Amino acid sequence: MKFDIIKEDPQSHARAGVISTDHGDIPTPIFMPVGTAGSVKAVHQHELRNDIDAKIILGNTYHLYLRPGLDILRAAGGLHRFNGWERPLLTDSGGFQVFSLAENRKITDEGCTFRSHIDGSRHLFTPERVMDIERIIGADIIMAFDECAPGESDHRYAKHSMQLTHRWLDRCIDRFNSTQPLYGYHQSLFPIVQGCKYPDLRRQSAEYIASKNAEGNAIGGLAVGEPTETMYEMIEIVNAILPLDRPRYLMGVGTPANILEAIERGVDMFDCVMPTRNGRNGLLFTPHGTINIKNKKWESCFDPIDPESNAHCDHVYTLAYLHHLIRAQEILGLQICSIHNLTFYLWLVRTARQHIIDGDYTQWKSRILPELSIRL
């Protein structure tokens, strides 16, 4: 994998770059649609490529391990061939999902034992096992196995969790370096910075992760209940330490405003379920604010949803039609809302990138941020 920085914003830490992988180039900053079980909910691969123009999507190790299972994925030749996505893929380690099963898992230094949310069967994820699973899934970028401490964790627990994550990382690196990709293309391993909301722990973790000289690095354990300003503070602390010449991935974040603020602080990659989850509930993002399409005010509004961020799409639907579909509980409504929101998120990072290149990112961000929070 290669990362080239094309331009840096003169007034902030924002930068525009390109990540090159064997499945294609990824312009940064980038938003990655979440395809948990090998599918971005309610969105076809054709639409991901042509309407949304997604450059990379995610798969989830925990869910893919349980269904369809490793035998199927390996027989198919990996997730790219299984789901027909020829562009880059990233897989998380499954750590967040495993640790969210608070009543059905046990963490030890060896790894994490958990019970499947599907059938209650018992499984063990170790750092070595997760590396093997991610090799079989075959994503271009794979994440190290970590523990995501709850946002309300006290300092003692957060420190213990961070140290466990570091020990697991060393084992992930050893296993990764002692194995080879299964399908003839390169895979990159990203470590994850942890440390909860504590500046001293975030510094320690960032220094440890930076010392591993990985091809890219991730920031985990944020947007899990801490105040927004605390999240921004942690990003600043971490990015002051992580290498400048490697991509930085902020995991699971977030709102359009979160993304723009994190870009300003030097983050390159983002993912979040918010655009698709909110879309399925009738909430639409636009450059001029958010729309609750269920509201009666849209019943006879025949304006297009958002001609600005949907300018390159083949089909433009009216607000009245989408209001009707959502009220009637038509599946097409969920699909259109999901496609629209993902298109908006990709428009947002693409526009941010252009303003970084043009040298006026900070001014543009200041103009658009107040509009993004308006309820239309």
Catalytic positions are 92, 271
Helices 155-177 and 199-210: crossing angle in degrees, nearest 10, is 10
Q: Residue 193: which H helix or E strand, with range?
A: strand 192-193
372: Cβ–Cβ under 8 A, 6 or more apart, which residues?
Answer: 256, 257, 260, 285, 287, 289, 290
HSE, CB side, 13 Å, CA atoms: give it for residue 199.
7
Residue 363 neighbours by CB distance under 10 Å: 12
Contact assessment for residue 114 and residue 105, using Cβ atoms and an 8 Å cutoff: yes
Distance CA 320, CA 136 (A): 45
Distance CA 60, CA 68 (A): 12
